[in-house]
Structure 1
Amino acid sequence: MLTKRNLERAATLGPVTIDLEGLELTERERARLRHPLTGLVILFSRNYASREQLAALCAEIHAERPGIVIAVDHEGGRVQRFREGFTHVPAMATLREKGPSAFWAAGFVLGAELRACGVDMTFAPVLDIDYGRSGVIGDRALGATCEAVIRHGAALTAGLAEAGMSACGKHYPGHGWAEADSHVALPVDERPREAVEADLAIYEALAPSLGAAMTAHVAYKAFGGEVATYSPELLRTILRDRLGFTGLLFSDDLSMKGAVGNLTVAQRARRALDSGCDALLHCNHPDEADELLGVLEWKRGEHFNERLARLMPADEGLDREVLEGLETYRRALAKLSAL
């Protein structure tokens, strides 16, 4: 939320997103949190034991570095990091026939329950089209056509917004056609340029409602075979200039196979920033995270503070007991349970 407090806090933060080893902060992690280049934290299932423990961890993180954005991949279905104590949100594919109201309910429940524990944002929604080719996307997708993804994406982001949470669309410009999983290989989208660009209508339509977007570690033959994360044409010329996206742009995890190639962690970060990314994800390799924080040269961009501030909630979120008494929450749960 763009407030004076959030802008002031964003001015003290940097572009690097770090992760944590367990349920409590270690001294090494506290040092990373305090580093001037750190600006965000991503949580995983290994960081969760209960709602009470998660709330305590988030409070500890925020106390260590006020304003730092705490994020998680919490989409529903098979990508839902916190399960016991949280509502099981079905895979997005199961909601497609239920219409936008089901996606709104999913967005509200996901956002409200996370915020009640101190988590600031989730990396959702997935805006990739389900072409029936990508196993890593598959039932995470909101639809099998551009129009369906736009319709359902708008509803899900509206539900997140009602819960006080920004949305992050991923994986730009689209991971639905390329078959390989970018966690373990470099996917290639061999379609002609007009086919890739047709999918961009999703980001053009949803750009005003997205506080953030995340790049795809996919090589696009029509764009010189370049990985999107490292493509100034895709990130600056098209996403920013043509499609009008003004939110914070994340690289996907730079430790994934699709991003690594023969590049060092510093080279990956440099290429992502130079191509147009605002923030860098780097997960599951703490030694490399320390290396990155130690060597990265970064100049604060003109719009960085504003983009990051928009991802920070305006308030602390509802206490879980208060949330459970909220009629909007009850209706959203009823909608999901009816599925």
Structure 2
Amino acid sequence: MDGKAVPRYSRIVGELRRRIETGELAPGDRVPSTREITRQWGVAMATATKVLTELRREGMVRAVPGVGTVVAAAPAGPARGPRPATAGRQGGRAEAPSVPSALTLGRIVTAAVAVADAEGLAAVSMRRVAAELGVATMSLYRHVTDKDDLLTRMMDMVIAEHPLPAEAPEDWRVAIELACRRLWDRFRRHPWLAPALSVTRPQMVISALPYSEWMLSVLHSRGVDLHTAFTAHLMLLNYARGIAVNLESEREAEAYSGLDSEQWMDTQEPEFLEILATGRFPALTRLATAGYDLDLDALFEFGLQRLLDGLAALLDRG
């Protein structure tokens, strides 16, 4: 023993590997999802993601769109025992060979979203998506032009999952809050979406256009000219996006370091306290003594209300 602590994600990988090798989890069986791993082992979502990423790297599991992550192949370890024979010569009902589903644009985009949700945008490639679907990479190009086209369709799919209502609330502030929170929910559910979405070079994401129309209509109905209304829309969009980019970067940082944000902060605390001990930063010292928990949802809500306060003042002046 070298005395080094085994990272938590490695211990979980080892446990799931054991279940697969002993046949407790057979080929095709679902393995615990990231959410199940966080609940069962009490780890952060990024740690759970790293567990499944490592098992995929080892070739022990694979992602199946619409199903989840399943055991990929027969384990090398002890088998669980033969399965009951089925077959027509002995009077049993023969099991029909499985026929692969036809490759469609929907299946391709769904598989790409599943990879991005589980492992981040960097894991998405045409080759990887083709491998998840069990098809040749070149066959994808009959449905999508290139990776940029695929990414645009991925964004279109996840934004369309939770559309805006047909009618906006009469109260302008309630209407804008609704749209902003729904967009934040999309960023929360798909951490890769915020860094993928460009403000300076906007992609043609059809399902995002109703957000622009919503904001323009709500503000213009209150007397704001369309140019100013669109500027306000971009301000609110980029505000939500700016906070949400931390979701993906934090997931990547935890996957590489094996430390969640709290654990990483613990490693920085001695140096930080040493700096505070100089007495140069009394306000920060009082804050550190009282404690501060960074909550991105609370941060988003606080900033949203302040931005809407500013819009309210603009409307009052108008």
TM-score, normalisation: structure 1: 0.29
Q: Larger Rg: 1 or 2?
A: 2
The structure with more strand, counted as a fraction of residues: 1
Higher RCO (C-alpha under 8 Å, 6+ residues apart):
1
After TM superposition, the score normalised by the length of structure 2 is: 0.30
Point out the structure with the larger helix share. Answer: 2
